[in-house]
Amino acid sequence: MSVDIRENLFPSDFAWGAATAAYQVEGGWKAHGKGPSIWDTFCHGKGRVFEDQNGDVACNSYELWEEDLRCVNYYNKVINDLLACNITPMVTLYHFDLPQALQDRGGWKWAGIAEVFDGYAAFCFRTFGDRVKLWLTLNEPYVCAKLGHEDGLFAPGVRDPGVSLYLAGHNMLRAHARAWHSYSALFRPEQKGLISLALNSDWAEPQDPSSPQDAAATERYMAFTFGWFASPVFMTGDYPATMRSRIEARSAGQGFPAARLPEFEEGEPRVLGTADFFALNHYTSRRVRAVSPSQTLGFKGDQEAEAEMDPSWPVCGTPWLAVVPYGLRKLLNYIKDACGNPAIYITENGFAQTGPVDLNDSQRSGFYRDTLLEVCKAIHEDGVDVRGYFAWSLLDNFEWADGFSVRFGLFHVDFTHPELTRTMYLSGREYAKIIMGNGFQSTAQS
Ligand code: GBH
């Protein structure tokens, strides 16, 4: 379907951006008294990251931002520099790099972490909240719980199928809720900002659209990925009913004294409603089919669904990222319906390059164009309240377990060059044009 060109524009106050994360760009892993994080430990062990690479230096943004930066002043400087360039910061308090000292006390599986996180969040609100008005507490609790505590593919590298991930996820929600309440009670009246958490979600469709089993499996997949964190915060205050009932029944059958999915306890700070907008990280789509029930302990068995790629979807960068632009429009509508039409920021979306570098990355340009046209349709044709879009990522960076082998940047970074030279990709120039035109009008006309 073609869209009227006038409609391929975004609201006049639409927020355009590009995202990064501390561990992925900064380096400075032991600068100025910084203790190790769980990602430092994880990478320094062997056999976990592509070619045993690590983020010790990464893009060295810690030093390249300006040579003489110090600790908290580094972030003060970053925030002040951004504001001076008329760029509004949206700050994520936690993007995967838990201090190792907290991991040593049990990390996200330790109930006490919620208070510690709350104290850290309050410190940030107090220190930076005069200038930062958009906050995210946690980035992708799903990824931290599932890849970090079920699969062991991300730090802290725990492989404990079916148990640890639910506990880690639960404490992340408890930590998030506390920080939201602290902001609301102590800082919001004066600072007048907004706070949420970034949730990642694929779009999912039944493998066989005519199969009721596949349709049900697709609903379970969305409940176990999107709903796991969206339902407590945006929908009901509890995990999706299907998660609860399935995990309860299976836990009993497996001989656990209690369900592996924790309860939100009376007297704890309320979780429902602890987000002032919806922050969505989205990359790709899946086709889902039902699988036969299995008693094997683990998230997969709890979910009883298999997610696959559609062979017609192009995969030209990293293997998990099938390009399905319409999936984002569908997902935006799903969020609108499921979560009561919230204001939505797309806080991450992007496309990766692997193998030989191509600065003339027309595939990525095409990805951004096709995806943003779908966002336009969601805004104008479907009435989804999308407030902003941040490309992942500003710079090629340390792509977690893929090390430096997967490049998501709008800027190429030459990691073999001592100065870590930045060069804009074609897609960076094209994205800049879209921002300047606030959509797909030529900047000459505007
Ligand atoms: C985001 O996670 C992260 O927030 C960001 O730091 C990261 O750089 C960006 O995506 C790009 O990956 O290899 O088949 O096991 C998005 C969720 C989680 C999707 C890990 C890919 C690996 C799939 N990502 N997942 S697989």
pLDDT digits (tens, 9 = 90+) for 63-105: 877 654 455 888 998 999 999 999 999 999 999 999 999 999 9
pLDDT of residue 442: 62
pLDDT of residue 4: 52
**Coarse DSSP helix, strand, coil percentages of the chain, rounded to the nearest 5 percent:** 40, 15, 45
User: Residue 284 CA: which ligand 1 atom is closest?
Assistant: 19
Ligand 1 centroid to Cα of residue 188, in Å, is: 32
Determine the Cα angle at 27 with ends 107 and 410, to 5°.
105
Ligand 1 centroid to Cα of residue 196, in Å, is: 20
Residue 305 confidence (pLDDT) above 60 = yes
Instruction: Give the residue numbers spanning the domain of 185.
Output: 3-200+269-281+312-440
Residue for token pair 């008329």:
86
Average the pLDDT over each of 8-12, 130-134, 185-189, 196-200 and give the range with the smallest value. Answer: 8-12
> Is residue 95 within 8 Å of 22, Cβ to Cβ?
yes
Q: What are the pLDDT digits (tens) for 229-274?
A: 999 999 999 999 999 999 999 999 999 999 999 999 999 999 999 9
Residue 107 confidence (pLDDT) above 50 = yes
pLDDT of residue 446: 40
Does residue 36 belong to any structural domain of this protein? yes
CA dist., res. 38 & res. 388, Å (int) = 31
pLDDT of residue 66: 60
User: Residue 153 CA: which ligand 1 atom is closest?
Assistant: 15
Active site members: 348
Does residue 254 belong to any structural domain of this protein? no
The kind and range of the H/E element at 125 are: helix 113-128
Q: Which residue has the higher pLDDT, 137 or 59?
A: 137
pLDDT of residue 64: 76
Whole-number average pLDDT of the chain: 94
Average the pLDDT over each of 73-87, 116-130, 401-415 and give the range with the smallest value. Answer: 73-87
Does residue 377 belong to any structural domain of this protein? yes
pLDDT of residue 73: 80
pLDDT of residue 70: 53
DSSP string, 235-262: ISSS--HHHHHHHHHHHHHTT-SS-SSP
DSSP string, 148-207: HHTS-SSTT----TTTHHHHHHHHHHHHHHHHHHHIIIIIHHHH--EEEEEEE--EEEES
Does residue 342 belong to any structural domain of this protein? yes
- How many domains, in total, are found in the chain? 1
Does residue 264 belong to any structural domain of this protein? no
Find the mean pLDDT for residues 320-337.
98
pTM of the predicted structure, to 2 decimals: 0.92
Does residue 388 belong to any structural domain of this protein? yes
- Which residues lie across from 288 on neighbouring strands? 206, 307
Ligand 1 centroid to Cα of residue 172, in Å, is: 18
Does residue 429 belong to any structural domain of this protein? yes
pLDDT of residue 33: 86
CA of residue 303 relative to chain centroid, distance: 21
CA dist., res. 378 & res. 331, Å (int) = 10
Residue 2 confidence (pLDDT) above 80 = no
pLDDT of residue 1: 44
DSSP string, 70-115: -HHHHHHHHHHHHHHTT---EEEEESS--BHHHHTTTGGGSTTHHH
Determine the Cα angle at 440 with ends 439 and 443, to 5°.
90
Find the mean pLDDT for residues 209-236.
98
Would the CB of 281 count as within 6 Å of ligand 1?
yes
pLDDT of residue 5: 54
Does residue 131 belong to any structural domain of this protein? yes
User: Which residue out of 96, 283, 308, 345 has the highest number of ligand 1 atoms within 8 Å of its CB and is therefore the one to mutate?
Assistant: 283
State percent of the chain over pLDDT 90: 90
Return the CATH number at 71. Answer: 3.20.20.80
Residue 16 confidence (pLDDT) above 80 = yes
